[in-house]
Amino acid sequence: MFRNFIIFIMLVPNILQADEGLNLTCENMLSLLGKKYEPLIFKVEVTGFHYFDINHNKFVTVPSNELEFGENRFTVKFPEYELGFQRIVFAGDTKPTITMSKYDYINNKFLDHYECSVVKSYIN
């Protein structure tokens, strides 16, 4: 009987999905004024925040316990700057928008602001 159960489990296709993650593609808001910027691409999962570091030519993961969370926002902190993501509803809109701001610790000011498109994805 136990052997039949094991064979059944092995033959039944696995239809379960893993946790959802978010793929974020962020466009610099200065692009609206005609300047061309490369979009920034991030992935947020239960395990952490993932991005490709162009300067070091490698994928980097910031563990989720190092992220700062608040209501409708999260922040990723680096030694020189931080990336603040927030969900807001602009006046006249009904759907929330994800925005990102890059804050420079050294110069004590915001450097860039981004509008992000979000696609839900299942974690592989």
Contact 85, 74 (CB under 8 A): yes
Q: Kindly list the domain boundaries of the chain, sorted by start residue.
A: 21-122
Amino acid at 18: A
pLDDT in tens, 71-119: 999 999 999 999 999 999 888 888 889 999 999 999 999 999 999 998 8
pLDDT of residue 54: 84
pLDDT in tens, 41-51: 999 988 899 99
pLDDT of residue 27: 94
Instruction: Specify the pTM.
Output: 0.75
Asked if the model's pLDDT at residue 28 lies above 90, the reply is yes
pLDDT of residue 21: 85
Query: Between β-strands 20-28 and 73-77, what pairing exists: parallel, antiparallel or unpaired?
Result: unpaired
Helix (H) or strand (E) holding 112: strand 109-122
**CATH fold for the domain made of 21-122:** Lipocalin (2.40.128)
pLDDT of residue 82: 95
Q: With left for phi above 0 and alpha for psi between -120 and 50, is residue 72 left, alpha or beta? A: left
